[in-house]
Amino acid sequence: CMYCQAVLGRGHSIRCSGDDLRNYFYMLQHHPDWIPCNVVGDGKPLSGKDYVEFGADCDKSCLIAIRVVCLGDVNAVDLCQCVHEQVLQDCGCLLEAETLKYRHSVPLTPVWDGLYIDDHIVSLVINRQEHPRVRRPRQQLRDEKIMAESRKHYDEVGLPRSMAKSFDKQPEFTAWGTHVN
């Protein structure tokens, strides 16, 4: 709903780029002490000899547990949001002046850099006369720099992107349930 606050002047347009992290919740391992709280099934011990291929000791009983942050955990979404924010801030994204935050005023800059759990969206309001669609050498615009840095950093920290959901500099897009054209 934040994009409903975008007001474009005559001769201006907005474009957006975005990424979705693939299997993001499965990437965040839970603290080892928390694993007993994430037991799957009825909680009855199983014979380790039936689960040796998964790392169980054949001479011991075992339980099956989820080792990652569970989507159903009370704080899972908050934790995943904070981790993703920090990943992006570590590479120069989500600057205070440019960050789109729910229930806050939209940024006063032409760049809006936003994040919702595993979705990173960057938009730029451009003057079509200053930036016509011609191929010529030019400096990267801020939205392009943000996307380049975030994608490079995702690779460095091992967070895979969903290439099928990735898009660049689109004048028509859907971001977090809002269609922008």
Residue 67: the pLDDT is: 87
Residue 160: the pLDDT is: 96
Q: Strands, E, within the chain: which ranges?
A: 12-20, 46-47, 61-62, 99-100, 111-116, 119-127, 167-170, 173-175, 178-180
Query: Helix crossing, 142-157 with 76-89: angle to 10°?
Result: 110
Query: How far apart are alpha carbons 114 and 124 in whole angstroms?
Result: 12
Query: How far apart are alpha carbons 17 and 146 in whole angstroms?
Result: 10
Q: Is 9 helix (H, G, I), strand (E, B) or coil?
A: coil
Strand bridging mode 12-20 / 119-127: antiparallel
- Residue 174 near residue 3, CB atoms below 8 Å: no
Q: Which two tokens stand for residue 6?
A: 């975008």
Q: Which residues contact 78 (CB under 8 A, 6 or more apart)?
A: none
Residue 135: the pLDDT is: 55
Query: How far apart are alpha carbons 91 and 93 in whole angstroms?
Result: 6
Q: What are phi and psi of 99, to 5 degrees?
A: -80, 130
* pTM of the complete model: 0.84
Residue 133: the pLDDT is: 62
Query: How far apart are alpha carbons 144 and 75 in whole angstroms?
Result: 32
Residue 20: the pLDDT is: 95
- Residue 68 near residue 74, CB atoms below 8 Å: no
CA dist 99 to 22, 103, 105, 108, Å? 22, 12, 10, 10
One digit per residue, pLDDT tens: the chain, 181 residues?
Answer: 888 888 888 999 999 999 999 989 888 888 889 888 888 888 889 999 999 998 899 999 998 888 888 877 788 899 999 999 999 999 999 999 999 998 899 999 999 999 999 999 999 999 877 766 655 557 889 999 999 999 999 999 999 999 999 999 999 988 888 888 8
